[in-house]
Structure 1
C-alpha cells in the first residue's frame, strides 16, 4: 500500500469520527478541557557488529531522529461521550550508507539502502458509555496475546477496533479485531502473518497466505493489592489460536523488601492452512521470580517450549515472554531457557533518575532437525538516566549493550544509544 492509500484510509477514519460528533458536542464538556497532546523526540544510534564469518555484511550502523506527535481528546458530555485521538510520526535519517542498513530504524528499499525519511499517520474515533470505551481506527494494543513494538525509532501501529470495559470493580475486559499492521520500520499497512523460521519449525506456505483478522478477548482481575490473574484468547486467521493465562503476585517481606512472582502459560494450536506441515502446535510455560531489597532487585526466570513448533505471535510485534530480550526471544521449538538479572536504582546513593540493569540468559535443547541441538546465550547491559529537575527535566539518555551467540544463525554485538524528550503541548 502506498502513502496515498495510507492517507486515504486515515482521512476516512477521521471523517467518520467527525461525522459522529455534532458541532454542538465538539467543543462541549470535556472534549477540549480533557485533551492532551505531546511531542516526543527520539534520537536513536544503532550499531550491530556481525560476528559470524559467513554474514552478508560486517556491520549495521545507522543514526536517525524520530518525531512522535500524539493527541488525545476528552469525551463530550452526556450519557454517550464521543472523542477523537490522533498521531503523526516522522523518522529522519541522520547517518547510514551502503552496506550498513538493516538496523530496523529506517525502511530499506530494493537496493538495500535506507530511506531518507518516512512517516505514519493515524486517527482513532472513540465512544464512551459508562465505564466502557469503544475505539476504532489506529490502535496500539498491549495485551498478553498481542503487543505492539516500540523497540526502534518509531512504534508499530494497527488498524482495527477495540473495546475496553471497567464496569466491574477490579476487573478489566478487553475485546478487539485487528485487520492490518504497520510495522516499526514501514509506512504501509499490511496483512498479518505469524513469526516464522526454521528454528521454530514454522514455515509459511508458498501460496502466500496471510491474515485479514486477529480477534482477541479476555480479562484481568485484581484480587487485592498483591495478586492479579488474567486470561486472554487470540486468533490469527489462517494461522493459530492461542489461550494465555497469567498470575502476578507480590508478597512484602519487610519494610524495604518483597518477593514478586510472574507466572505465564500459553497454548497455541493451528487455525487454517497458512503454515506448512501440521501447522502450529506449542505449549509455553514461563515465569520470573524477583527479590527486591531496597534499591536492589535480583531476578531469575525460566521458559520452556514444547510441542511441534515454537511460540506463535504476529510478525512485527513483541512476544509476551519473560525471556524476550534485546536480541533473542528464546521461543524456538523445544527450547528450554533461563535468565539471571540484577537491577539497581542509584537513588540509593543520592543519584535519582540513574538506573542500571544487567542479565545473562541461556537457551538449549532447540530442535533443529537431523538430530542437531541448537543453543544460544545472551548478555544485556542497560544504563539509563532521566533528568529530574531544571530546564531539561524528563530528558532521558539510555545506553544498551547486547552480546548474543548461537550455533544456528548470526552472532551479534549490539550497542544502542537513545536520547528522548517529550514536550507537553496541552
Structure 2
C-alpha cells in the first residue's frame, strides 16, 4: 500500500489524522502491557473492521525490544492511560506519539485493504506533524526540536496488530517527514481553504475572504490545547512571525490537569476517571448546563456550579496570561483568534473575561473565535474546526508541495 500524505496532530486529549483525505481520531490513551497480557487480552474476535478503532492492540520493536501497547479507547479504562495529562507532555521523547502513529497506520491499512492481506508493506511518501512552542523553546533553535521529532518517524518501522480477528504484520516505511510549529501553522488554514474544483475535477487552494479582517493588524493566534496553550504574534495579513519573541508559552496549568484536579476534589463520586468527565463536559458545554443523568436509576445531579466555576476561573487566568505579553509591545490594534480543542468549551468565559479586562466593543472587534469566524462554503473540503485547524493547515501544505512537484 502506498500513502501519499499522512498528516498527524498528536494532541494530549485526541490524536487527529488526515491520511490521503481520510480523517479519523484516536484518543490519547496509551498503556504498555506485558507480552503475556497482550496475548491473552481478547476473549472474543473483532469481526467488523469498523469496530477496530475501539480495539487497538499493537506490538512494535523499539531499541531491539518488542513492546506491547493498548492504544486509544481500548486503554481508556486503564489507570495508567492518562499519565501524561498532569504535566507538560514531551512528545519528542514520549513513546505515545509513536505508538498511536503505528496503531493509526494499522487501522488505516485495515479500513482501506479490500483483499484482506495480513502481511504487507506500507510506504508513506510524506508525513507531517507538529510540536508545541514550549517544547521547541527548550532547544537553541526551533529547527533542532523539529528535526528530532521528524526523525522519530523517518525510515522503517514494524508493527504487529494483535487485535483478535484482525491480526496483521506491517512494515512501515516513511520516506519524508517534516515537523511544524503548533498554532503558528494554523495561519495557513486561516488564510486559505481547500475547495472542490468541479471543472478540473481536482482540489484547489483558494484565499479566504474572511481573512481580510486581519490585513491591517498584527494578530495573535491562541491555541488552547488540553496539554498546553501557545500564542504566536503574526505580522499584518496573517503573515510570518518576526522573531522567536513572537512565540509565547502561556504559563498556566494544562487544561486536562486542571480538570483532573476538579475530578479529585469535587466530582470523584460522579465519574470513574478523567476521560468520562471530559466527555461529559464536551457533550454538555454548548448550553452551559451540566446535568448528569443516571440512565439506570433515573437520578439527576446538577453539576453546573462546580464545573462552570472552574471554567470561569481557568478562562480568566488564561485571558490575562495571553494578553499580558503582547499588549505592551504591539504597534497598533491587536487582533486575537482563539482555537484549539478546549477553545469552544471556554469561549463564553473567555468573552466574559475579555470584557472585564477591556470592554464589549474591544471584545467584539478584536477577539475572534474560529467557529464564528469562518464562513460556510459548500465547495470547501474539510472545513477546519477549532480542534482540526492545525491538521487542515498540514493538508494545505501537503497539497501545495504536490502541486510544486
Q: Confirm or deny a common fold (TM above 0.5).
A: no
Q: What's the TM-score, normalizing by structure 2?
A: 0.27
**Which structure has the higher relative contact order (CA within 8 Å, separation 6+)?**
2
Q: What's the TM-score, normalizing by structure 1?
A: 0.26
